[in-house]
Amino acid sequence: MSRNPLIVFEGVSKSYTLHYHFTGGIKNFLFHLPSYIRKARSSSYCALKDVSFEIRRGETFGIIGKNGAGKSTILGIIAGVLKPTRGKVAVGGRISPLLELGAGFSFELTGRENILLNGIILGLTRKKVLDRMDEIIEFSGLGEFVDQPIRTYSSGMLSKLAFSVVTSLDPEILLIDEILAVGDLNFQQKCLEKMMSFKKSGVTIVFVSHSMKQVEQICDRAMWLENHVVRAIGDPGTITGEYSSYWKDR
Amino acid sequence: MTNKKKVKSRNLGYFKDLAIILTQKEMKVRYKNSFLGYLWSVLNPLAFAFVFFVAFQVVMKIHMKDYVLFLIAGLFPWQNFTNSINASPMVFLMNSTLIKKVNFPRHILALTLVLHDSVHFVLSIPVILFFMFVYHRVPSLSLVWGVPALLSVQILMTYGIALFLASLNLFFRDLERLTTILTTALFYFTPVIYSETMVPDKYRVLLKLNPFAMLMISWRNLFLNGSINPVYAGAALGYGILFFCLGYFFYSKLAWKFAEVL
Ligand SMILES: Nc1ncnc2c1ncn2[C@@H]1O[C@H](COP(=O)(O)OP(=O)(O)O)[C@@H](O)[C@H]1O
Ligand SMILES: [Mg+2]
């Protein structure tokens, strides 16, 4: 692990504009233009407030916090799919896709076709994915289901698929959002082992999880998000301990 | 950032692989089977050619030699255009999981849609040529450069409009039906089933304002006479560039918000 930070958040805030009023369609929009514009201006929701932290190259960084705290928003900003409203973000390195629940890209395609699609989108060449296909399928443990359309998959199977594709990449940054929660124990174990081996080879991992045990087990540092702000950053054992006792006391 | 450089250097191969895989996905999702998709892209304009032939020549008795051939030479390129346009509002919505997870150039999704339909169009050109033989016409050699030239203009124009509709639909969600209505209306305002010379003199100048008229007239003349009117084709190119710039500008202003509204 080197000293120089790979991911830097400096005073980052993120507000979502609430667009539900637009979904009435263009006709409604045109007929009620002034009131829509007023509403659009006023209704935004602040998901992150003045968040600052640094993640060093090769570090495994855990993020904990209750639902809606803003964990996924942070990962989305790191992945570059979301844009912060305020603040500075610097990310240097090849990023894996956001691994999250219900992952899997095109529901009409089979598992195998999704592996190819994902691999290419993530920057592998077609040939490379095809070369590694057997290995990926082997890791996923999906067996014959790999040739079924993924709309028939359970959420556990979907995260197996998503995680397996990533194992065949060589990312510099791995973003993991709660996906280990749904796989069976056997697969969870396999994933943790794989993450350990990624870690050994110097991959930077940002790991969002509700399992305090997993966070303690593999993270070098952890961050606790509470109500859209950073509550604490530090040693994973300490942070998870504080977090658990905080919730016990309530 | 070193990362930027790395991304640049692998760009070309990456774009190619990405475009191919997304096009294949598009075919799978839209038609389940790429051959059926092709068959559909041939049968659809042929069926319409038959319908218009019956309505206008058999029933209404308009005077035009080889009307069926005339229809076919216009309906194939028109259908290439409307297929992409009508599907374009859904193109980002259908790929929402992708857009939410990976930061890749999203406009490529609209491009693959347009390319996918264009591939079908190119593959259906032999059908047009077959009908030319049936009507004892000899296809001109100028097709060899004319088809790529007009197709480029058409892709540019369609891509621009598709980017615009696909981006806007993320915020309004009901553009799909509106788009179909508009393309249907446009169809009748564009000389596809009638010729530009049948338009009354005082309205003919309006044709120049219709970007699609310029393009469709050029296509038909290319197939039937082997010639391209440089004024018409030039106007189509001008409109194409304009639409592309507008569509891309609009897209680039909104793209950062896509993952939020999906
Ligand atoms: N696309 C969105 N539009 C509007 N609000 C959103 C959007 N995504 C998340 N939010 C809101 O932002 C807050 C933080 O969400 P998120 O980062 O997903 O939390 P977490 O992953 O910690 O559960 C939540 O209250 C959620 O409702
Ligand atoms: Mg979340």
- Per-residue pLDDT reduced to its tens digit, B60-115: 988 888 999 999 999 999 999 999 999 999 999 988 888 888 888 899 999 999 99
Q: Which two three-digit tokens encode residue B170? A: 């993320």
- The residue extents of the domains of chain B are 38-261
Say if CB B172 and CB A26 are below 8 A apart.
yes
* CA A208 / ligand 2 centre spacing (Å): 8
Task: Locate A210 and state its tokens.
Answer: 């509700």
Q: Which residue has the higher pLDDT, B114 or B6?
A: B114
In a domain, A234, yes or no: no
Note whether B113 and B155 are within 8 A (CB). no
Most confident option among A2-6, B20-24, B60-64, B84-88: B84-88
In a domain, A125, yes or no: yes
From chain B, pick out residues whose CB is under 8 angstroms from the CB of A80. 103
Residue closest by Cα to atom 11 of ligand 1? A47
Q: Does B171 sit within 8 Å of A79, measured CB to CB?
A: no
Cα–Cα distance for residue pair A195/A189, rounded to 1 Å: 10
Distance between Cα A68 and ligand 2 center (Å): 7
Which residues are within 8 A (CB) of A242 and not within 5 positions of it... i.e. 6 or more apart? Answer: A224, A232
Which protein residues touch ligand 1 with a CB less than 6 Å away? A 16, 18, 45, 47, 65, 67-73; B 260
Q: What is the tens place of the pLDDT at every residue in A82-102?
A: 999 999 999 987 776 666 654
Q: Is A97 on the interface with B (CB under 8 A)?
A: yes
Please give the mean pLDDT across all residues of chain B. 89
What residue in B sits closest to A24 (Cα-Cα)? Answer: B172
A96: nearest Cα among A112, A75, A82, A111: A75
What are the beta bridge partners of residue A176? A99, A207
Nearest-CA distance from A111 to chain B in Å? 13
- Which domain does A153 fall in, by range? 96-170
User: Both tokens of residue A207?
Assistant: 């790991």
Helix axes B107-134, B230-254, angle to 10 degrees: 160
B169 vs B151: CA distance, rounded Å: 26
Indicate whether A9 belongs to any domain. Answer: no
- Work out the pLDDT band at B5, boundaries 50, 70, 90: very low
**Predicted pLDDT of residue B1:** 37
In-domain check, residue A155 = yes
CA A14 to ligand 1 center in whole angstroms: 10
Per CB-CB distance under 8 Å, the chain A contacts of B257 are 17, 83
Of residues B79 and B29, the one with the higher pLDDT is B79
Distance CA A14, CA A81 (A): 13
Please tell me the total count of domains within chain A.
Answer: 1
Note the pLDDT tens digit of each residue in A217-234. Answer: 999 999 999 999 999 999
| Chain segment B204-248, per-residue pLDDT in tens | 888 889 999 999 999 999 999 999 999 999 999 999 999 999 999
Read off the DSSP letter of residue A124. Answer: -
User: Does residue A244 carry a pLDDT above 70?
Assistant: yes
Compute the distance between CA of residue A74 and CA of residue B180 in angstroms, rounded to an integer: 39
DSSP, collapsed to helix, strand or coil, labels residue B134 as helix
In the block, residue with structure tokens 């191969």: B13
- pLDDT of residue B11 exceeding 70: no
Mean pLDDT highest for which of A1-15, A38-52, B174-188?
B174-188
- pLDDT at A41 (0 to 100): 64
Confirm whether A216 is domain-assigned. Answer: no
Chain B residues closer than 8 Å to A23 by CB: 172-173
B14, B17, B109: which to substitute to probe chain A, counting the most A Cβ within 10 Å? B17
Q: pTM score, two decimals?
A: 0.87
Residues of chain B contacting A, Cβ within 8 Å: 1-3, 6, 10, 13-14, 17-18, 20-22, 25, 28-29, 95, 97-104, 171-175, 178, 256-257, 259-261
State the average pLDDT over residues A25-38: 72
User: Helix B143-172 and helix B107-134: axis angle, to 10°?
Assistant: 140
The partner residues of A233 in beta bridges, in order of sequence, read: A223
Mean pLDDT for A56-81 is 94
Would you say A194 and A115 are in contact if contact means Cβ atoms under 8 Å apart?
Answer: no
In a domain, A102, yes or no: yes
**H runs (alpha helix) in B53-200:** 67-87, 91-94, 96-101, 107-134, 143-172, 175-189
Q: Give the up-direction half-sphere exposure of residue A184: CA atoms within 13 A in the CB hemisphere.
A: 6
ipTM for this prediction: 0.82
Beta strands in chain A (DSSP E): 5-17, 44-56, 60-64, 86-91, 95-100, 173-177, 204-208, 221-226, 229-234
Cα A156 to Cα A162, A247, B154, distances in angstroms: 10, 28, 45
Neighbouring CB atoms inside 10 A of B150's CB total 22
Contact A26 B175 (CB under 8 A): yes
Residue in this structure with the two tokens 């809606």, named with its chain if needed: A68
Give me chain A's average pLDDT, please. 86
* Structure confidence at residue A219 (pLDDT): 96
* pLDDT higher than 50, residue B7: no
Range of B14-23, B49-58, B182-191 with top mean pLDDT: B182-191
User: A48 near A62, Cβ under 8 Å?
Assistant: no
Is B77:B212 a contact under the CB 8 Å cutoff?
A: no
Query: Distance between CA atoms of B69 and B133, rounded to whole angstroms?
Result: 10
pLDDT for res A186: 85
Better pLDDT: A181 or B182? B182
Mean predicted confidence (pLDDT) in B30-51: 82
Does some domain include residue A230? no
User: CB B2 to CB A117 under 8 A?
Assistant: no
